[in-house]
Amino acid sequence: MSKKKKPVDPMRGGKRPMPRGWPGMAGGYSTYLQAPAEWRGTTVQVCGMWPFAAGTGSPMVGVPIGRNILSGATMCCDPISWFMRAKLISNPSVFVLGKPGLGKSTIIRRMALGLAGYGVMPLVLGDLKPDYKDLIEALGGQVIQLGRGRGHLNVLDPGESRKAALRLTGSARQAIQADAHGRRSTMVSALISIMRSAPPTDREETIIDEALKVLDERHDGTPVLRDLLKVVQEAPDRVRDVALDRGSMERYRQITEGLEASLIGLVGGGRLGEIFSEQTDHPMAMDRPVVFDVSNIDDSETSLQAAVLLACWSYGFGAVAVSQALADAGLEPRRHYFVILDELWRVLRAGRGLVDRVDALTRLNRQRGVGMAMISHTMSDLLALEHPEDRMKAKGFVERSGMVICGGLPRAEMENLTAVVPLSGEEQNMLIGWQDPPAWDPATGEEAAPPGRGNFLVKVGGRPGIPVHVALTSVEREINDTNKLWKTGADGRPLKVEIGDDGTEEVVEEYTFDDPTMLPPPDPSTRLAPPPDPATRIVAKAGVEE
């Protein structure tokens, strides 16, 4: 093979140019090599620029999340698209970890919004802040209020499963009945665990299980906890048999005394209020986005928060299981759901054995287009549980997630985290850097936004993480502004409406879809590039971002 000759200039005595041009006067030598401006567009738009177009290094399947912090490339990601379309992850679930206030709920909100655009229904099973209520309202979804004096959720309500069972046959019917039964007994046991801060005994669980079966046979309509208590007090033979009272009523009373006391506590209001003991006020709609707004429960009521979250999870997952079973049997259209479990740590901390309950209630057939997002703060939160078996199982939630998204985390967290999610030294430093405290803004004297807010590292197994910054669009920024409302005008264009104190609405702004104010702020990585000529500008049409 002949060696390729380097260019020589006959005018300059056959000399070669240096890598940056000809040295000397008028040679065009460049001391500073400016990086060329980068532009992004769809393959349709940039095909004419071949061979100067390069593919992005980040996956482009799913909800546009933001820009890759290192390369500035658009990054798309959501558990359902990455599992079903891109086949990048082994199951459609995501676990988000990060210090408070760095944007964990916000990134999941973005995914929910994007997935809603793909026809996936977001189900927010318990919104404590509220972080998601406005979004679900804006999407035309159902908002279910729960709290003391603000609505009830009957934990013995089999929901749609009873009706569904009538439409199904054979093993599908048995499966749906068994699922509904299992959920109800798990939920009663979980409420008792939270009341007592200790799980019920094996014998008590068996009694609950049998009493529920008796209740189903005897009771017309939907039973409530009071009816369950009545069955335990009435001591039918089947319940006495499993209680092993050996034919002595006195012994039965002794055995069931603790259980009866706990049930009376649940029925009578007690620490957990009357939320669970009355009939459900608003059944969940399965054909639109849903949020359970539990934000009026005070943060000091930790047990009640945990119990309500758990009840919402049980109810929501039960409803999804029914919808899946009906779709499997071809009786209903297949609907896809994105289930969001925020503030996981609150439930896990509420009592011993709750990790198991969460596991039981949130198990689903994940192959069928139901994605799940779990959000917690740190691994230490999960590993601070008192009992080793709970700790191991809580760790399993992270291990089993298809992808793990980490925001800023303290250095002390790294040992625990790397045991579950392999992170290189560089990745660890990045996460530690993102949790630095915010600076004081000398101009306003106020605290600036935390430097790591909106920055996340997307990790899938042992692959290198993808660092991404979530930039909010103006629509997203204002969706949480409770004085403003986004509406669709008569011609389909977005309108911004301001709501007065007396509830009157006034249109303050009208937008068109290509209005620059609808776009996120410009990409900081191209800040140094000269402003482009709008006439020749290539704009990615597919993403949320410019």
Ligand X SMILES: Nc1ncnc2c1ncn2[C@@H]1O[C@H](COP(=O)(O)OP(=O)(O)OP(=O)(O)O)[C@@H](O)[C@H]1O
Closest CB to ligand X among residues 125, 168: 125
* 470 near ligand X, rule: CB under 6 A: yes
Smaller CB distance to ligand X: residue 102 or 308? 102
Which class for 230: exposed (0-12), middle (13-18), buried (19 or more C-beta within 10 A)?
Answer: middle
Token pair for 188 = 């009663």
Indicate the residue among 346 and 393 with the shorter CB distance to Mg ion.
346
∠ CA(275), CA(277), CA(281), 5° rounding? 65
> Does 154 contact Mg ion by CB under 5 A?
no
Rounded Cα distance, 48 and 474, in Å: 33
For residue 517, the 8-state DSSP code is G
199 counts as binding ligand X under rule CB under 6 A: no
Rounded CA-CA distance 112/154 in Å is 27
256 interacts with Mg ion by CB under 5 A: no
Report the amino acid identity of residue 478.
E
Residue 489 one-letter amino acid:
G
Would you say 412 or 449 has its CB closer to ligand X?
A: 449
In the complex, least distance from residue 469 CB atom to ligand X, rounded to whole angstroms: 7
Q: Is 454 in the site for ligand X (CB under 6 A)?
A: yes
Return the SS3 of 145.
strand
Of 137 and 204, which CB lies nearer to ligand X in the complex structure? 137
Structure tokens belonging to residue 540? 């990615």
| Residue 154 is a binding residue for ligand X (CB under 6 A) | no
**Residue 277 touches which of ligand X, Mg ion, none (CB < 5 to 8 A by kind)?**
none
- Total residues interacting with Mg ion, rule: CB under 5 A: 1
Q: Which stretch binds ligand X (CB under 6 A): 98-106, 115-123, 312-320, 516-524?
A: 98-106
CB under 8 Å to 234, separation ≥6 — which residues? none
Of the two residues 156 and 468, which places its CB atom closer to ligand X in the complex? 468
Size of the site for ligand X (CB under 6 A): 13
Closest C-alpha among 387, 438, 352 to residue 99: 438
In angstroms, the CA 66 to CA 454 distance is 9
Using the minimum distance from each CB to Mg ion, give the nearer residue, 105 or 189. Answer: 105
Q: Which of 51, 100, 516, 534 binds ligand X (CB under 6 A)?
A: 100
The answer to whether 318 contacts ligand X (rule: CB under 6 A) is no
CB-CB contact of 345 with 381 (8 Å): yes
Q: Which of residues 45-104 bind Mg ion (CB under 5 A)?
A: none
453 contributes a contact to ligand X by CB under 6 A = yes
Q: Does 98 bind ligand X (CB under 6 A)?
A: yes
Report the C-alpha gap between 276 and 223 in whole angstroms: 12
SS3 state at 466: strand
Quote the CA–CA distance of 370 and 122 in Å, as a whole number: 10
- Bridge partners (DSSP) listed for residue 74: 67
From the list ligand X, Mg ion, none, partner contacted by residue 453 (C-beta under 5 to 8 A by kind): ligand X
Per DSSP, which regions of 423-504 are E strands? Answer: 455-459, 466-469, 484-488, 494-499
Phi and psi torsions of 8, nearest 5° = -125, 155
- Confirm or reject binding of residue 409 to ligand X (CB under 6 A): no
Q: Give the other-Cβ count within 10 Å of 437's Cβ.
A: 10
Cis peptide upstream of residue 130 (ω within 30 degrees of 0): yes
Order of all β-strands in the sheet with 505-510: 484-488, 494-499, 505-510
Question: Of the candidates 78, 127, 131, 413, which one interacts with ligand X according to CB under 6 A?
Answer: 131
**Least distance from C-beta 111 to Mg ion, angstroms?**
14
| Contact status: 101 vs ligand X (CB under 6 A) | yes
| Region for residue 244 given its phi and psi (left: phi exceeds 0; alpha: psi -120 to 50; beta: otherwise) | left
Contact range with ligand X by CB under 6 A, out of 95-103, 219-227, 288-296, 411-419? 95-103
Assess 482 for contact with ligand X (CB under 6 A): no
Smaller CB distance to Mg ion: residue 276 or 345?
Answer: 345
Per DSSP, what are the bridge partners of residue 487? 495
Return the structure tokens found at 28: 């065009």
> How many whole angstroms separate alpha carbon 482 and alpha carbon 203?
50
**Whole-number minimum distance, CB 468 to ligand X, in Å?**
10
Residues of span 45-84 touching ligand X by CB under 6 A:
none
Nearer to Mg ion, 105 or 401 (CB): 105
Nearest residue (beta carbon) to Mg ion? 105
* CB-nearest residue to ligand X: 454
Q: Which residue, 160 or 476, has its beta carbon nearer to ligand X?
A: 476
Q: Is 105 in the site for Mg ion (CB under 5 A)?
A: yes
Closer residue to ligand X, CB minimum distance, 39 or 132: 132
Q: At closest approach, how far in Å is the CB of 172 from Mg ion?
A: 37
Considering the complex, what minimum distance in angstroms separates the CB of residue 342 from Mg ion? Answer: 6
CB neighbour list of residue 504: distance below 8 Å, 6 or more residues apart: none
Residues that bind Mg ion (CB under 5 A): 105
Residues that bind ligand X (CB under 6 A): 98, 100-106, 131, 453-454, 470, 472
